[in-house]
Amino acid sequence: MTKKVLIVSRRQIRKNKPINWVSEIYATILCARGIMPVFVPIAETTKTVLQEYLFDYDGLMMVEGGDVNPQLYGDNYDNPEELDLIKDDIETACFKHAYARDKAILGFCRGLHIINVMLGGTLHHDVHEYNNNLVKHIDYEHYDEHRHCITIIPNTPLHSWYNQNEIKVNSYHHQGIKELGKGLVAMATANDGLIEAVYAPEKKFLVGLQFHPERMLAEYQGNQQVFDSFINAL
Ligand SMILES: [Mn+2]
């Protein structure tokens, strides 16, 4: 049977109408390995059929998106960027389902934040307030070219994939991990101390990365290893 990976989409207004979208690269990567991406739409009524999506799948990939609602980690911050309460609702429901059944879960950026928050962790609303701009985690002028260093902790899956103590990663975020969620272990930090990768040693495959290996595939062999390991765990 072809393995199926759920990916919750993202909403945006296009030509005055809300549309759903997912970056094509995730489909490209999964399909190339014979895995079927199943996009879960965000609509007012998605919840009524969500159980059908959760009836038959092998893994969950949580990808880019706007801010996680600060209320989900007990914060009253009232100026978040691009909130989508329905996306939060659907994605957290998918996470809880997958986590309880020990399905393979891989999160990037916002996906990492969802993993952390669902396991009781908290977030900085803006990492640049926390780090006084010591490390730039988003650069609108050089959006795709910007890189910052991360230090990879030995004896972690991330180290086994990249086989290096330091790599340069892309960075497109302004939220970031504050307190780590239960059962999570850091796998890498930036020079300002921010956690840039986590995993849960007790789970089959639960990994969250603050960066986007899929957007810098040619730069390190390890970027492919992230996806290969996830897919091996499906
Ligand atoms: Mn970063």
Tens digits of residue pLDDT in 211-220: 999 999 999 9
Q: How far is the CA of 121 from the centre of ligand 1 (A)?
A: 18
24 in active site: no
CB-based contacts of 4, cutoff 8 Å, min separation 6: 35, 36, 37, 38, 56, 57, 58, 59
Measured in Å, residue 3 CA sits from the centre of ligand 1 at: 31
Our answer to whether residue 94 is catalytic in this structure is no
Catalytic status, residue 219: no
CATH number of residue 184's parent domain: 3.40.50.880
Question: What number is the average pLDDT over the span 154-161?
Answer: 98
Q: Cβ contacts of residue 13 below 8 Å, gap of 6+?
A: 19
* pTM attached to this predicted model: 0.97
pLDDT at 72 over 90: yes
**Residue 220 has what pLDDT?**
98
What's the 105 CA to ligand 1 centre distance in angstroms?
A: 20
State pLDDT tens for residues 19-69. 999 999 999 999 999 999 999 999 999 999 999 999 999 999 999 999 999
Q: Which of 91, 94, 97, 109 is catalytic?
A: 109
How many Cβ atoms sit within 10 Å of the Cβ of residue 16? 5
Whole-number Å distance, alpha carbon 174 to ligand 1 midpoint, is 8
Distance 149 CA to ligand 1 centre (A): 9
Alpha helix (H) ranges present in 105-212?
Answer: 110-118, 127-131, 157-162
Cα angle at 174 between 124 and 30, to 5 degrees?
Answer: 110
Contacts of 52 (CB under 8 A, 6+ apart): none
Q: pLDDT confidence of 70, banded at 50, 70, 90?
A: very high
Where is average pLDDT lowest: 56-65, 73-82, 113-122, 163-172?
Answer: 73-82
Q: How much is the pLDDT for 76?
A: 83
- Structural domain boundaries, residue 80: 4-232
> What's the one-letter identity of residue 200?
A
Mean pLDDT taken over the chain: 96
pLDDT for the residue 80: 78
pLDDT at 150: 98
Which one from 124, 148, 173, 214 is the annotated catalytic residue? 214
* 23: phi then psi, degrees, rounded to nearest 5: -60, 135
Q: Does residue 107 surpass a pLDDT of 80?
A: yes
Q: Token pair of 152, please? A: 């990879």
CA atoms of 174 and 186, how far apart (whole Å): 19
Q: How many domains does the chain have?
A: 1
Specify the residue for token string 């969500």.
Answer: 50
Task: Place 112 in a pLDDT band, splitting at 50, 70 and 90.
Answer: very high
The percent of residues above 70 in pLDDT, for the chain, comes to 100
